[in-house]
């Protein structure tokens, strides 16, 4: 059994955050302190925690706070001792960031700054956190040419405002590690799938298009022959990687070596988005054979929406070299998520009431 720790998690009511809560409850004996703003996704957030039996779990301590505001002395005392900070909360929709970039900068940078200040204040109080982990994205590196997989510490080349806001937040994490000697870690993660995902995301979107017999438009190159590429991995694999990083590594950010304290969480294989949609469709048709074949078209989104990158690529060699193995394959993850999503009592997560 893991040494008992107390982790402060931001964004616990979000899709990824709720899976992290579930994974920590199942895979550790840690206490989980959640800190959420509960804005537009409040109802779904509460439903996610209820679905995983975490809403009233005695190991989960829930706090509501505007993450854009400082965490004052009173709230710090209520939160109590914290071993690890796991900062996941983020505005994370590329399309919305292209339409309205300002909130992404103001939110993603500022809430990260507030959490770093929390850790700095804890240190000044004589109750320093052991590790501060910032949960970032592959998109900070920008589009990856075919065959290129960026390694930890490579240069940023953000292709859209969301990615830029995450890169800027990473810079603040690095600055606080260098200036205030906070023990910081940054993870960069590729595309995430799982249960209870918002219907606008690609996986549930494909399922809805199939069930409704509607055409799916897939992001492709200007020739409309080559779909965009991504690695996909289940949120439970991400949680396993986070636990591994906390427990099995001692690295933190280092001003002398940009690769230290950084970890890519990648997944085990790459799909193009056409192939991935067809893999989802195959699993749906196994359970709903009456459903027609997926109707889809490759379209040139990139020319009209240049902030959408054709391909992201991260190297997973570092985590692999220190012994981490993803516990569930992506093929098995696709099957499980489809089966779960098509259950009658889960159709609300597709927006089908």
Q: Is the pLDDT of residue 303 over 80?
A: no
Q: Is the pLDDT of residue 112 over 60?
A: yes
Least confident of 36-45, 47-56, 235-244, 253-262: 36-45
The pLDDT tens digits for 128-159 are 999 999 999 999 999 999 999 999 999 999 98
pTM, entire model? 0.94
Q: How far is C-alpha 58 from the chain's CA centre?
A: 25
The pLDDT tens digits for 218-268 are 988 888 888 988 999 999 999 999 999 999 999 999 999 999 999 999 988
Characterize the bridge pairing of strands 262-265 and 184-189: parallel
Q: What does the block give as tokens for 147?
A: 């065959």
Contact 210, 352 (CB under 8 A): no
The pLDDT tens digits for 172-212 are 999 999 999 999 999 999 999 999 999 989 999 999 999 99
Q: Where are the alpha helices (DSSP H) in the chain?
A: 15-27, 42-51, 73-79, 94-99, 102-124, 161-180, 202-212, 235-248, 273-287, 301-304, 317-321, 330-341
The reported pLDDT for the residue numbered 32 is 98
The reported pLDDT for the residue numbered 304 is 57
Q: What is the mean pLDDT of residues 308-337?
A: 94
Residue 39's pLDDT band (cuts 50, 70, 90): low
Q: Where are the alpha helices (DSSP H) in 15-100?
A: 15-27, 42-51, 73-79, 94-99
Residue 297's pLDDT band (cuts 50, 70, 90): very high
Residue 274's pLDDT band (cuts 50, 70, 90): very high
Give the whole-number percent of the chain exceeding pLDDT 70. Answer: 95
Adjacency order of strands within the sheet including 6-10: 60-64, 31-36, 6-10, 84-87, 131-137, 184-189, 262-265
The reported pLDDT for the residue numbered 43 is 58
Select from 94, 88, 138 the least CA-distant residue to 270: 138
Q: What is the average pLDDT value for the chain, to the nearest integer?
A: 92
Contact 136, 262 (CB under 8 A): no
The reported pLDDT for the residue numbered 214 is 96
Q: What is the set of domains in the chain, with CATH numbers? A: 6-193+232-265 (3.40.50.720), 202-230+269-350 (3.90.25.10)
* Contact residues for 10 (Cβ-Cβ < 8 A; gap 6+): 17, 34, 35, 36, 67, 86, 87, 88, 89, 111, 115
The reported pLDDT for the residue numbered 305 is 59
């Amino acid at each position: 059994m893991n040494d008992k720790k107390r982790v402060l998690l931001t964004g616990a009511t979000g899709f990824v955050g709720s899976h992290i809560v579930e994974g920590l409850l199942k895979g550790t004996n840690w206490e989980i302190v959640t800190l959420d703003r509960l804005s537009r996704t409040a109802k779904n957030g509460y439903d996610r925690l209820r679905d995983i039996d975490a809403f009233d779990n005695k190991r989960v301590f829930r706090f509501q706070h505007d993450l854009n505001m400082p965490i004052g002395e009173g709230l710090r005392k209520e939160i109590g001792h914290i071993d690890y900070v796991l900062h996941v909360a983020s505005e994370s929709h590329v399309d919305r960031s292209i339409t309205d970039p300002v909130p992404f900068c103001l939110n993603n940078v500022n809430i990260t700054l507030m959490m770093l200040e929390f850790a700095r204040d804890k240190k000044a109080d004589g109750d320093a956190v052991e590790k501060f982990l910032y949960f970032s994205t592959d998109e900070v590196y920008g589009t990856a040419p075919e065959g290129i997989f960026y390694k930890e510490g490579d240069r940023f080349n953000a292709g859209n405002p969301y990615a830029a806001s995450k890169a800027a937040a990473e810079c603040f994490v690095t600055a606080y590690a260098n200036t205030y000697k906070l023990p910081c870690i940054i993870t960069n993660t590729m595309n995430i799938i799982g249960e209870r995902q918002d219907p606008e995301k690609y996986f549930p979107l494909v399922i809805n298009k199939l069930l409704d017999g509607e055409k799916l438009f897939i992001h492709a190159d200007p020739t409309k022959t080559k779909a965009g590429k991504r690695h996909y991995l289940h949120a439970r694999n991400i949680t396993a990687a986070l636990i591994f990083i906390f427990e099995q590594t001692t690295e933190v950010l280092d001003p002398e070596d940009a690769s230290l304290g950084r970890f890519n969480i990648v997944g085990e294989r790459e799909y193009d988005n056409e192939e991935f949609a067809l893999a989802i469709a195959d699993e749906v048709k196994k359970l709903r054979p009456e459903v027609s074949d997926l109707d889809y078209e490759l379209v040139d989104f990139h020319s009209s929406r240049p902030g959408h990158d054709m391909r992201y690529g991260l190297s997973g060699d570092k985590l692999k070299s220190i012994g981490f193995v993803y516990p569930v394959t992506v093929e098995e993850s696709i099957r499980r998520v489809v089966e779960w999503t098509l259950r009658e009592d889960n159709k609300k997560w597709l927006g089908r009431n």
